[in-house]
């Protein structure tokens, strides 16, 4: 594959020549061209505009744009460690040598991976939750671990360079989001470090001090506690010091050999401000940003992880948390989209009315709390969904047609089935669902079901609502 088609984004497009690609500003960026190009190149001569352009790409609503690889062109912007780490690759050639050559295998692999990933994603437009965008981004770069970089430039002290571009401001919200996704087992975290953050302003820049327990002053000094074996006297080393030698103030004997006539069993601290003598100074922290003093144990202690996508997260990234169940149903049953299903219902209504020799029913089952169950079960969530889908597979016939209305209301057309038969099917399904909830979550299911005969009164638009009535 000849990878030559790229878009070079620059605030000064006239000054740059891009062989094999096009040069434009953000304002001039054509969405279709952006979708068609293999990757973006950012003008490396201007750091601030490079950051702005990167943020623009990552915040674009179109999946085929925000997932696209970004290369940082040669220039002063590459001196910014975080910006260099935030893009997929940096070019070490000068601006006239664009496009990126085929030898840059790593980038090509990324392009191929993201392209094929984009093709898997069905829903590419519209407002997507930031969590889903992050999952998709990490999933599209599944071989890259999102490793935090320590930096004094950010309040949080650590930067996730590639992910920060998805957020409006660089603050603790990225931490909270990643922790949430990890708790939902959508991301896997590898321990990197622990970090204390100010409980008042979330700053990671804290001054740890040892202070006097009485007056809280940091003006303290430590000395060794000396124990004289002969007379049992114990006091600070300074009490024993007489010129260059050590003499016991109690028995006036000289101390000669440590371990033979004296030892130093512990440390003793004293305060230069209030003269208080104590065994253990009180650790305290002072925030460089807000200046508040707080006990270390009262500060926020965060675990710093490097993140990568989990198996469950990869599925959720492709289909969305709610659509995962629908996707599994589609794979295993005769599934129709809503429009098709409505057409079949219209036909069925006409058939039943015209011949009046058979009856059909529609079954609506709404299983509440599916997304919560996924979070609760973590890695076992996928198995739980599959069990639920199996319950439908085992109960339904080949001739039954199925669709999903709303988030979790499964609607099934049971052809040639009277109300009594439909109730039997419903009962069996509800029993199976109940059993799966009990087994997996140890809680009763929150599923509701209803049987509606197919006749003239049947209104498809009210099917989902009919459950709550």
Partner 1 sequence: MFLDSFPQIQSFLHFVYYLDSERILHYFWSFIVIDLPRYVLLDFLILFVYIPMRGIRRKRNRVARTELFHDRPLVSVLVPGKNEGKHIPRLAESMQHQTYSNIELIIVDDGSDDNTPFVCNHLKKKGLIDHFIRNEESGGKASAANTALYYARGRFIIHLDADAHLNNDAIERIILPFFVDPSIGMVGGDVRVRNDTDSITTRLQAIEYMKGISVGRTIASMLGMLRIVSGAFGAFRTDVLRELNGWDVGPGLDGDITLKFRNLGWRIYHEPTAVCYTHVPDTPRKLAKQRVRWDRSIIRFRGRKHSGILKASKNFRVLDFTAVAENIFSNVFLNILWWIYVFQIVFMDSEFLGRIVIINYILYFITNVIAYTIAMILSEETLHRNHYALLWFLPLMPFYIGVYLRVVRTYAYLSEFFNRASYHDPWNPWKVSQAAKKDGL
Tokens of residue 195, six digits: 């970090």
> Nearest-CA neighbor of 375 among 429, 309, 332, 322?
322
Give min distance, CB of 303 to partner 1, in A: 22
Strand ranges inside 127-261, DSSP E: 149-150, 158-159, 187-197, 206-211, 220-228, 234-236, 241-242, 245-247, 254-255
Enumerate helices (H) and strands (E) in the chain, giving the number of each. Answer: 16, 23
DSSP lists the bridge partners of residue 87 as none
CB nearer to partner 1: give 179 or 223: 223
Residues whose CB falls within 8 Å of the CB of residue 226, separated by 6 or more in sequence, listed in order: 234, 235, 236, 237, 239, 240, 246, 255, 262, 263, 264
The CA distances from residue 170 to 131, 162, 175, 183, 258, in Å, are 16, 12, 10, 21, 56
Query: What is the nearest approach in angstroms of partner 1 to the Cβ of residue 253?
Result: 8
Nearer to partner 1, 262 or 319 (CB): 262
∠ CA 123-124-130, nearest 5°, is 95
Nearer to partner 1, 258 or 347 (CB): 258
Least separation in angstroms between residue 243's CB and partner 1 is 21
Between 178 and 246, CB nearer to partner 1: 246
- In three-state secondary structure terms, 401 is strand
Would you say 258 or 465 has its CB closer to partner 1?
Answer: 258
236 versus 364: smaller Cβ distance to partner 1: 236
Whether the Cβ atoms of residue 296 and residue 195 lie closer than 8 Å to each other: no
Task: In angstroms, give the least distance from the CB of 194 to partner 1.
Answer: 20
Closest approach, Cβ 287 to partner 1, in A, equals 23
Termini Cα distance of the chain: 58
Would you say 67 or 255 has its CB closer to partner 1? Answer: 255
Please state the closest distance from residue 273 (CB atom) to partner 1, in A: 16
Distance CA 148, CA 261 (A): 53
List interacting residues with partner 1 (CB under 8 A): 225, 227, 229-236, 249-250, 253, 259-261, 263, 265-266, 268, 276-280
Query: What residues contact residue 356 under an 8 Å CB cut-off, 6+ apart?
Result: none
* Shortest Å distance, C-beta 262 to partner 1: 9
Q: Considering beta carbons, is residue 156 or 299 the nearer one to partner 1?
A: 299
CB contact set of 430 (below 8 Å; sequence gap of 6+)? 365, 445, 447, 449
Q: How far is the CB of 220 from partner 1 (least distance, A)?
A: 14
In angstroms, give the least distance from the CB of 265 to partner 1: 3
Closest CB to partner 1 among 144 and 225? 225
């Amino acid at each position: 594959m000849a990878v030559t088609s790229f878009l070079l984004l620059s605030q000064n497009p006239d000054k740059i020549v891009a062989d094999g690609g096009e040069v434009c500003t953000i304002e001039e960026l054509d969405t279709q061209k952006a979708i068609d190009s293999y990757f973006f190149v950012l003008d490396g001569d201007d750091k601030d505009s490079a950051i702005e352009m990167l943020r623009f790409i990552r915040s674009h609503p179109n999946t085929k744009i925000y997932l696209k690889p970004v290369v940082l062109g040669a220039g002063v912007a590459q001196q910014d460690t975080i910006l260099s780490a935030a893009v997929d690759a940096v070019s070490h050639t000068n601006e006239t040598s664009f496009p990126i050559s085929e030898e840059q295998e790593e980038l090509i692999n990324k392009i191929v991976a993201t392209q094929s990933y984009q093709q898997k994603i069905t829903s590419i437009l519209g407002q997507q939750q930031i969590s889903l965008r992050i999952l998709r981004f990490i999933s599209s770069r599944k071989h890259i671990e999102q490793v935090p970089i320590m930096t004094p430039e950010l309040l949080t002290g650590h930067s996730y360079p590639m992910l920060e571009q998805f957020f409006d401001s660089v603050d603790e919200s990225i931490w909270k989001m990643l922790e949430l996704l990890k708790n939902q087992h959508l991301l896997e975290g590898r321990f990197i470090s622990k970090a204390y953050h100010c409980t008042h302003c979330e700053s990671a820049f804290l001054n740890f001090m040892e202070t006097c327990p009485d007056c809280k002053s940091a003006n303290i000094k430590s000395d060794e506690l000396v124990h004289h074996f002969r007379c049992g006297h114990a006091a600070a080393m300074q009490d024993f010091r007489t010129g260059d030698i050590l003499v016991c103030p109690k028995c006036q004997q000289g101390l000669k050999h440590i371990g033979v006539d004296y030892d130093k069993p512990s440390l003793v601290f004293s305060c230069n401000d209030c003269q208080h003598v104590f065994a253990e100074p009180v650790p305290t922290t002072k925030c460089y940003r807000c200046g508040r003093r707080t006990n270390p144990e009262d500060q926020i202690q965060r675990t710093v992880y490097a993140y990568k996508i989990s198996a469950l997260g990869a599925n959720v990234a492709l289909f969305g948390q709610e659509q995962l169940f629908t996707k599994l149903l589609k794979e295993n049953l005769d599934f129709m989209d809503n429009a098709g299903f409505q057409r079949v219902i219209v036909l069925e209504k006409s058939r039943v009315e015209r011949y009046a020799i058979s009856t059909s029913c529609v079954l609506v089952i709404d299983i509440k709390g599916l997304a919560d169950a996924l979070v609760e079960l973590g890695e076992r969530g996928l198995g739980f969904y599959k069990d639920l889908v199996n319950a439908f597979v085992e109960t339904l016939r080949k001739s039954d047609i199925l669709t999903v209305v709303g988030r979790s209301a499964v609607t099934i057309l049971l052809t040639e089935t009277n109300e009594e038969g439909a109730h039997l099917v419903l009962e069996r399904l509800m029993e199976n669902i109940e059993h799966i909830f009990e087994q997996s979550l140890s809680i009763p299911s929150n599923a509701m079901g209803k049987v509606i005969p197919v006749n003239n009164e049947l209104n498809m638009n009210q099917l989902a609502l009919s459950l709550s009535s």
